[in-house]
């Protein structure tokens, strides 16, 4: 019995083979992150520094969480690649039930640590607490584009996990790890069964994703709700809190994209099956194998490396921001708000 692929080898397939490994995607991400980091560094050189005493105060308060975000981002990237290399080239075990949830679980642990740092550093009101004029929420320091990208990634992973789980079939041990592709009008021929992103893999992903969303929300909420040190540092603290929020959301987004890319890679394998040849039957002519979502599966396989490049780039940017020497922006109030900030403390 022989399975045939959808088409013969062509230049597009060769290009796809070049990006079949996350290691190649990492190379592309390193280039992109390097360019973005260089531009950001040159742009940030013009930022003014605040008074030394206030700068030390803000570094003491915000540097630990920024450093932790950098470590979490780097750890998520390393653990994902290590798991891929071990399963592919060392152990030979192949896929396990937790394979696709690895980046999500790593992000859950890491963001949870960041939440603990924020909850224990800077949540105690200062001697002269500033009374906010408006209630701060988890949305206060997150940009809309960042949240939209994160929402799209979450929706894509949830949709993929549920749809693939519904389409999957159990093996002899009851694990939903197969996709059954029937042979039309040939009831005496067993259908094709290929490895698939079924419930065995997608359920752990959905559980880890739900926990990650909850931990990320709690971190953003704590980041926004804690009081400012003093009116003079409000502007600099806003910058620091935006950095914390951006890093947290980027880690969640990157982990989600890595899990989604891994799922799409496996699903793409099912979309490439088009015919089945049974030796000694049908004059050795191939039978057509029909799966109505084959085109979507193949397209997902092409998009998977793009998702990995985006995810790696996000993690590298967070790591670079968190692990480099912390610089404090100008801590004096902006021209538009000094009177209100100093006199009433009415800051958002």
The confidence score (pLDDT) of residue 346 equals: 46
Return d(Cα 206, Cα 201) in angstroms, integer: 9
User: Which stretches of the chain are DSSP H helices?
Assistant: 11-18, 22-44, 52-85, 102-120, 144-167, 199-225, 234-271, 294-323, 338-343
Residue 85: how many CB atoms within 10 A of its CB?
Answer: 14
DSSP 89: I
Return d(Cα 95, Cα 197) in angstroms, integer: 10
Residue pair 169/193 in contact (Cβ under 8 Å)? The answer is yes
**CB environment 23-60: b (16+ within 10 A), e (fewer):** eebbebbeeebeeeeeeeeeeeeeeeebeeebbebbbe
Domain locations in the chain as residue ranges: 2-328
The pLDDT tens digits along the chain (348 residues) read 555 554 445 555 555 555 678 999 999 999 999 999 888 777 655 443 444 445 566 777 888 999 999 999 999 999 999 999 888 887 666 678 888 999 999 999 999 999 999 998 755 555 555 555 567 888 888 899 999 999 999 999 999 999 999 999 998 888 999 988 777 655 566 777 888 999 999 999 999 999 999 999 999 999 988 888 887 788 888 889 999 999 999 999 999 999 999 999 999 877 666 444 444 344 444 555 667 777 888 889 899 999 999 999 999 999 999 887 544 444 444 444 444 444 444 455
DSSP 346: -
Return d(Cα 88, Cα 132) in angstroms, integer: 53
- Provide the whole-model pTM: 0.83
The confidence score (pLDDT) of residue 229 equals: 80
DSSP 192: E
DSSP 86: I
């Amino acid at each position: 019995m022989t399975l045939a692929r959808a088409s013969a080898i062509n230049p597009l397939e060769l290009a796809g083979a070049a990006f079949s490994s996350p290691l190649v995607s990492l190379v592309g991400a390193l280039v992109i992150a390097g360019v973005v980091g260089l531009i950001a560094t040159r742009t940030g050189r013009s930022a003014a520094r605040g008074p030394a005493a206030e700068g030390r105060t803000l570094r003491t308060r915000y540097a630990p969480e920024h450093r932790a975000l950098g470590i979490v981002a780097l750890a998520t990237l390393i653990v994902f690649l290590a798991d891929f290399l071990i399963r592919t080239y060392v152990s030979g075990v192949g896929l396990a039930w937790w394979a696709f949830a690895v980046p999500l679980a790593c992000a859950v642990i890491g963001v949870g640590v960041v939440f603990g740092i924020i909850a224990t550093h800077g949540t105690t009101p200062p001697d002269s607490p500033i009374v906010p004029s408006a209630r701060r929420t988890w949305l206060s320091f997150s940009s809309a584009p960042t949240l939209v990208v994160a929402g799209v990634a979450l929706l894509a992973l949830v949709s993929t996990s549920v749809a693939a789980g519904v389409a999957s079939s159990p093996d002899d041990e009851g694990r939903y790890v197969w996709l059954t592709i029937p042979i039309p009008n040939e009831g005496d021929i067993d259908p094709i069964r290929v490895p698939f992103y079924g419930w065995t893999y997608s359920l752990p992903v959905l559980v880890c994703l739900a926990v990650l969303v909850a931990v990320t929300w709690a971190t953003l909420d704590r980041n926004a709700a804690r009081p400012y040190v003093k009116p003079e540092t409000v502007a600099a603290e806003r910058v620091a809190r935006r950095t914390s929020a951006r890093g947290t959301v980027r880690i969640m987004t990157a982990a989600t994209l890595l899990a989604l890319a891994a799922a799409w890679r496996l699903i793409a394998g099912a979309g490439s099956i088009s015919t089945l040849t049974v030796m000694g039957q049908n004059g050795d002519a191939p039978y057509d194998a029909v799966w109505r979502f084959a085109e979507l599966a193949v397209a997902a396989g092409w998009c998977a490396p793009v998702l990995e490049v985006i995810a790696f780039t996000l993690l590298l940017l967070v790591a670079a921001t968190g692990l480099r020497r912390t610089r404090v922006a100008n801590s004096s109030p902006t021209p538009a708000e000094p009177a209100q900030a100093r006199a009433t403390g009415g800051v958002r």
